[in-house]
Structure 1
Amino acid sequence: MTDTADTADAGYGVARFLAVDHVDSPTLTPDGRLLFLADTSGTPQVWTTDEPAAWPDRLTPHEERVSALAASPTDEAFVYAMDTGSDERDQLYHYDLATGVERALTADPDSTHSWGVWGPDGDRVAYAANRADDARFDVYVQSVEAPDDPAGEPERVFEGPGGFLSVAAFGPEGDRLVLTKAHSSYDEDLTLLDLATGETTRLSDDAEATYSHVHFDGAGGLVFVTNRGSDTAYVGRLSLDSGDVTPLAGHDEAPGNPGTDAWDVDALAFDPDTGRLAYTVNEGGYSSLHAGTLASDADGEFAFDSTPAPAVDGVVSDLTFGPDADRLVFTHTSPTTPYGVRAVAFGDDAATDWTPVGRNGLPDAAFHDPETVHYETFDGRGIPAYWTLPPGASAEDPVPVIVDIHGGPEHQRRPWFYPTKQFFLNRGYAVLEPNVRGSSGYGTAYSHLDDVEQRMDSVADVAAGVEWLADQPAVDDDRVVAYGRSYGGFMVLAAITEYPDLWAAAVDFVGIADFTTFLENTGEWRRSHREAEYGSLADDYDFLKAISPLTHIEEVRSPLFVQHGANDPRVPVGEAEQVVDAVREQGVPVEKLIFEDEGHHTTSRENLIAEFELIADFLDEHV
């Protein structure tokens, strides 16, 4: 590293940054007690507090991560999901807050139980699971009351058509469920299931659309976030009688390409008893929060009347109302603000931090905000990106750059708090985070620009970002690092094989090396969903093989670090093994880190610290 980088590194080890707590997934009990997930103990566990900024109590005592949390609508109790070794085969557990007793609702460790919803009376839950067939998710309803049979076998109420299926909402009378079936990330079926008869009614039409944050409105309809008939997502209402969808809020008929002001609604909370509704709009990655009341007139026409809501300076998610909808809670973060939970009284314009998170003694100067930039790519499009320079970077003392490429690809890099990003900034690296074509958040049309045969256009967008870096005076363009996770790992491997001269080093986390072996070995229930994005083994095998980085591995010149988890159900660990072996055969320096107790994500803080200490040493050696 240069003297500038040494000066920027104030001696803050990665453990200081990774030990900053991450708090999210708020949910409120009927008595108004706040429950949330926090990784204070090293993995996400359930914690609770009943006062703002009060010292919270830890409720779950486990070493394995808790991945989902939902409070009962009627009792002081909650359900949570937890897997083993980050294998994503979640089991469900019930926790009684009055007694502190927790017990397993499911005990099938070979199956994935995807949390769904509570029944309206708090006596049942509904969820999807692949218990009968690994390639198919079915729908189950299960009592949460202590069963006579300790196994507590659930009732299968619907056999899925194959692939992934979700339970989106429970009817207010407890007699219906709303299900979503994802054909791809941007094409879902919405179905109403009658629990008494087993009959289903399709609510979606044949057009491609998504449906999320689904709520029964108590007046013969559903309120949800959808992009049906629109390039961007909005708050809509579907009449169960007619099937018609009416936009209520956040609707914009303009296309949502980067550079426009047409944005997606991306979160929603709704209380049918009061009609109170809150939603967020994703404005170039940053959230704006909106609140109001949904009401109908004498003709049955519904309208949204807005009310004050607090301004937010980062990203808001996990919107949920408390009892009587008098309070809205949500997760908040920004590049310099760790994840925490805030609350606001309905109609107020100031939010309160309920779970303020410290920084382990790190000063404000150790945290850095990005600027939003747009750089031109090969076809004249402007690619949005976040650009952050470390302190002291200048034309006289230029710095190396990490190009951090997000996964998905139907995902978006947003201005969240990234402890590892702040760590590298403090070590003297600049960071460029592009939202290349195929990213979400900029409308459906933009998200489709990398589909199947257009896959490598997104890699060209990354190369264009490196060209933009060459024009930045404070950048040393001989020391640029390709860096990405999951699909971003594929992008890293594709970038160093397609554009090998651009990179000084590369870091691949759980990346796809060969699309054909990835699709052959990924979880069976995921295959058709991923083929809709990448192309199918049956129809596109030769094309998939041709664009796979492993096919062109002889082009690699830059040292490579590869990290993976042995329990990864999404991108099997064989992808890492084969790319490491192939790069070594080329005589290029390569380091491999496989965690036997991790999956697609590194979830243990101990493992994360070991991982990023090794990566920092690797980059110090090669960049």
Structure 2
Amino acid sequence: MVKRTYEFERYMNVRSAMLPSFSPDGSQMAFLTDITGVHEVWSVAVEKQAKRPAWPEQLTFRNERMMEAVFSPVANTLIAVGDMGGNERTQLYLLHADGSVLKGLTEKPEVMHHFGAWSPDGRRIVYSSNERDQRYFDIYEMGIASGAVRLLYQQDGSNYACQYSPDGRSVLISRSLTTTQNQLLLLDTVTNEVRELTPAIQEGPAWHGAASWTADRKGLYLLSDRGREFMSLAYLDLETTEMTFLYELSWDIEQLALTEDGSVLALSINEDGCSRLELYDVTQGWDERKQLIAPTLPKGVVLSLGWSKEGNELAITLSAADDTTDIWVWHLDGGTVQRMTYSSTGGIPRDTFVSPQLLRYPSFDERQIPAFLYLPEGKHENLPVIISVHGGPESQERPRFNWLYQYLVACGYAVLAPNVRGSTGYGYEYQSLDDVRKRMDSVADLKYAVNWLCEQGIADPKRIAVMGGSYGGFMVLAALTTYPELWAAGVDIVGIANLVTFLENTGPWRRKLRESEYGSLEHDREFLEQISPINHVEKIVAPLFVIHGANDPRVPVGETEQIVKALQERNVPVECLIFADEGHGIVKRANRLQAYPAVVRFLDQHLRGEHR
């Protein structure tokens, strides 16, 4: 029996803070934190000379997930965004900065509302909604004082409001075509004229994002991978719509933040999963840029960037594998960096958290698969190992803080978190290696992860489990059915059991985009049936633990119900937890305290032979 120095609940008490927004005068910063057990909106005073920030104030008390809070550019009010029971039918709220008023602006609980931006004068907001038809998102504008709503743009597609132009007349729109292609449009809010800023490219990479107006207001800085392997910095001329690439690397430039006056540009670069910041004075344009000293931060992942209205402070959400997710502020004038939030570690000393080692292992075609390996203290031989597969699949395992990994490692498990083919962060070619008919190649990468762990002597071949959520849950079930002899157990969280029923029942606003990745029901149904785990369930011999939220709009709970019923009929050991007040993932603390200790008990039983 491995001694557990800190109990599971301690790890569940590790908190996070993220997504900061400065008040107009820069004296306050709103952000999200799960101090209460679910993310709510809080605020804290920004005091440049303070050695440690003041204790923050809680602003919302919904006891339901809040997902965003953005200050008005001119007043101490915010637009806050939240859903109910994990259903992702997000509503918009007007929130006073002291928390005294939380007023619903879009009280249509069956409709999704995606906040876009405040107008520069703070009188209007722009947002996207699928009110007209669940399959499509249109663009709406609301007057804050009157509450009057105006349909700005209607189109049978996935249209998302990004931001207003500096003069408040135009709105930048992103229309998603596939998971790797989109278009940028410019909508005149007075004439309703719409201009295409980028073409609708049907093949190859063509994503355009994170756009901001340049100092002369004649163009946009943006990130794009059009015709390229990696996301790069580009300039788009608003008159000619010609796009010029300015800065290209062999890694993705994943975030861009420009000061309101267009003078200072911050870039976050994803280098093998870790982030690197670069700052430039671009007052005279990119060609005359001056590189500025960037803040020195702990090694980790930058999750968000945001400037204050005056452009003197840059707020950064940073997560490190061995430290909590928190907010830092870079004071441009003094060149100092300040940690604004100190999320609780649940009483666990920070120096007990483990950082992973980055490695690469060969797969069936000799392609090198990147992975992060978390190891416990002591000997690293014949260990029980959990292979953790990220969702997406357009996503990337990165060295962010993961309380479950930390607990498992503290209990003597090793955790290998690979970026199998199809993951983002390694170029468009690598990201495309699992598309449609190549889907099962990514599952083969899991087999070769097992091979590598055993060849290195790290893993006990009889004590390896596979765990994943969402698409990662599909990977778990596919691994159990394709390579049943490899696994001692599996943990499937909100995963896909049947690609056909998944595509039939997923939220209608998602279906087209998902088909671009997985294949369509019209053209690929036979193949989708062929590779769906539910149609090979007789091959599963390893015990399985399944978790789902009843309100999941992405992977409906029927996916879990199918696989559980099929295993029960075959007397394969299966445990299942379905939460009535959760959606695509388990976010509420009370539910997590039920779900994840049960997962650990399950793993202990089947990988250690412990019965508790």
TM range (shorter): over 0.9
Which residue of 1 is the match for residue 66 of structure 2? Answer: 66
The superposition leaves residues 160-212 of structure 1 with CA deviations (integer Å, 9 ceiling, x where unpaired) of: 223x3211121111111111111222111111111112221111124441122
Paired residue secondary structure (1:620): helix
Within 2, Cα distance between the matches of 1:513 and 1:349?
A: 52
Secondary structure of the residue that 2:183 maps to in structure 1? strand
The correspondence for 1:214, drawn from 208, 211, 214, is 211
1:531 aligns with 2:529: no
1:198 lines up with 2:192 in the alignment: yes
TM-superposed CA distance for 1:317, in Å, is: 2.1
Q: Which ranges of 4 or more aligned residues in structure 1 deviate by more than 6 Å?
A: none
3-state SS, counterpart of residue 355 of structure 2: coil
Pick aligned residue for 1:382 from 368, 375, 378:
368
Question: Is the partner of 2:137 in helix, strand or coil?
Answer: strand
Could you tell me which residue of structure 1 aligns to residue 141 of structure 2? 141
- The one of 17, 38, 42 aligned to 2:37: 42
Q: CA deviation at 1:96?
A: 2.1
Query: Would you say the 8 A contact 2:159–2:174 is kept in 1?
Result: yes
Cα gap change, 1:97 to 1:394, in 2 (>3 Å):
closer
- Alpha-carbon distance in structure 1 between the residues aligned to 2:12 and 2:198: 43
CA distance in 2, matches of 1:276, 1:500: 54
Structure 1 residue 512 and structure 2 residue 479: aligned?
Answer: no
SS at match of 1:288: strand
CA contact (8 A) 1:307 1:347 kept: no
Give the one of 157, 160, 165 matched to 2:159: 165
Question: What is the deviation of 1:440?
Answer: 0.5
Please give the per-residue CA displacement for 1:70-90, whole angstroms capped at 9, x wherever unaligned: 111111111111111010000
Inter-CA distance 449–303: structure 2 relative to 1 (3 Å threshold): farther
Q: 1:209, 1:229 within 8 Å by CA — same for their partners in 2? A: yes
Aligned residues: 596
Deviation at 1:561, TM superposition (A): 0.3
TM-score computed with the length of structure 2 as normaliser: 0.95
Deviation per CA, 1:87-120, whole angstroms, max 9, x where unpaired?
0000000112267222111100010001111111
CA shift, 1:434, in A, is 0.3
Is 288-297 or 374-383 further displaced after alignment?
A: 288-297
The yes-or-no answer on 1:278 pairing with 2:271 is no
CA distance in 2, matches of 1:445, 1:296: 36
Determine if the alignment matches structure 1 residue 187 to structure 2 residue 184: no
| 2:322 corresponds to 1:325 | no
Residue 53 of structure 1 deviates from its aligned partner by 2.5
Superposition deviation, residue 345 in structure 1: 1.4
Q: Does 1:119 align with 2:119?
A: yes
Q: Does 1:613 align with 2:610?
A: no
Distance 2:333 2:393 in 1: 37
CA distance in 2, matches of 1:611, 1:324: 45
How far did 1:246 drift? 2.1
Q: Look up the equivalent residue of 2:14 and give its one-letter code.
A: V
CA distance in 2, matches of 1:78, 1:364: 34
Task: Report if the CA contact (8 A) 1:142-1:153 is conserved.
Answer: yes
How many Å separate the matches in 1 of 2:588 and 2:384?
29
SS state at 1:292 partner: strand
Determine if the alignment matches structure 1 residue 581 to structure 2 residue 565.
yes
Is 1:340 matched with 2:326?
A: yes
List per-residue Cα deviations over 1:385-427 (Å, max 9, x = no partner): 00111112333xx320010000000000100000111011111
- Contact 1:311–1:349 (CA under 8 A) maintained in structure 2: no
* Structure 1 equivalent of residue 610 of structure 2: none
Q: 1:416 aligns with which of 382, 397, 400?
A: 400
Matches of 2:370 and 2:594, distance apart in 1:
32
User: Over residues 541-593 of structure 1, what are the superposed CA-to-partner deviations in whole Å (9 max), with x where a residue is unaligned?
Assistant: 00110010111111001000000000000000000000011111221100000
Equivalent-residue separation in structure 2 for 1:507 and 1:303 (angstroms):
53
Counterpart contact for 2:59–2:98, Cα < 8 Å: no
Rounded Cα–Cα distance in structure 1 between residues aligned with 2:351 and 2:385: 20
Partners of 1:274 and 1:324 within 8 A in 2 = no
The separation in 1 between residues aligned to 2:439 and 2:368, in whole angstroms, is: 18
Distance in 2 (alpha carbons) for counterparts of 1:228 and 1:288: 23
CA distance in 1, matches of 2:463, 2:309: 54
Question: Which residue of 15, 19, 32 maps to 2:9?
Answer: 15
* Partner of residue 438 from structure 1, selected from 407, 412, 422: 422
Output the CA distance in 1 between the equivalents of 2:37 and 2:269: 32
Aligned counterparts of 2:148 and 2:547: Cα–Cα separation in 1 = 38
Superposed counterparts of 1:280-319, under 5 Å: 280-296=268-284, 302-312=287-297, 313-319=299-305
Q: Is the 8 A contact 1:486 1:512 kept in 2?
A: yes
Deviation at 1:142, TM superposition (A): 0.5
2:223 paired residue number: 225
One-letter code of the match for 2:35? T
Bigger mean CA deviation after superposition, 225-234 or 447-456: 225-234
CA RMSD after TM alignment? 1.5
Distance in structure 2 (CA, Å) of the matches to 1:290 and 1:347: 16
- Letter of the 2:580 partner, please give it: E
CA distance in 2, matches of 1:440, 1:274: 29
- Rounded to whole Å, the distance in 2 between the matches of 1:139 and 1:302 is 35
Amino acid at match of 1:551: N
Separation of aligned partners in 1, 2:582 and 2:120: 36
| Structure 1 contact 225–268 (Cα < 8 Å) conserved | yes
Cα deviations by residue, 1:108-133 (Å, 9 ceiling, x for unpaired):
00100011111111111101011111
Check 1:390–1:350 CA distance in 2 against 1; reply closer, same or farther (3 A cut). farther
CA contact (8 A) 2:221 2:236 kept: yes
Secondary structure of the 2:451 match is helix
Distance 1:364 1:66, change over 3 A: closer
Matched, 1:245 2:229: no
The alignment status of 1:371 with 2:365, answered yes or no, reads: no
What is the aligned counterpart of 1:354 among 328, 340, 357?
Answer: 340
* Structure 2 spans left out of the alignment, 5+ residues: 608-612
Structure 1 residue 247: Cα displacement: 2.5
Q: For residues 248 and 349 of structure 1, what CA distance do their matches in structure 2 show? A: 26
State the partner residue of 2:411: 427
Per-residue deviation, 1:153: 4.6
Tell me how far 1:272 sits from its aligned partner: 4.1
CA offset digits 1:9-29 (Å, max 9, x no partner): 22x222111111110001101
Q: Partner of 1:517: helix, strand, or coil? A: helix
- Which AA in structure 1 matches 2:366? G
**Identical-pair percentage:** 39
Q: Which residue of 2 aligns with 1:258?
A: none
Moved more, 563-572 or 199-208: 199-208
Residue of structure 2 in register with 1:257 after alignment:
none
* Change beyond 3 A, Cα 1:98–1:609: closer
Mark the runs of 5 or more structure 1 residues left unpaired by the alignment.
253-261
2:512 match: secondary structure: helix
Change in CA separation of 1:534 and 1:348 when aligned onto 2, cut-off 3 Å: farther
Q: In structure 2, do the counterparts of structure 1 residues 385 and 98 end up closer, same or farther at CA, with 3 Å as the change threshold? A: closer
Provide the rounded CA distance (Å) in 1 between the counterparts of 2:262 and 2:523. 51
Question: Contact between 1:169 and 1:216, CA under 8 Å: does it hold in 2?
Answer: no
Relative contact order, higher structure (CA 8 A, sep 6+): 1
After superposition, give the CA deviation of every residue in 1:577-619 in whole Å (9 maximum; x if it has no partner).
0001111122110000000000002110111111101111111
Compute the TM-score of the two structures, normalised by the length of structure 1.
0.93
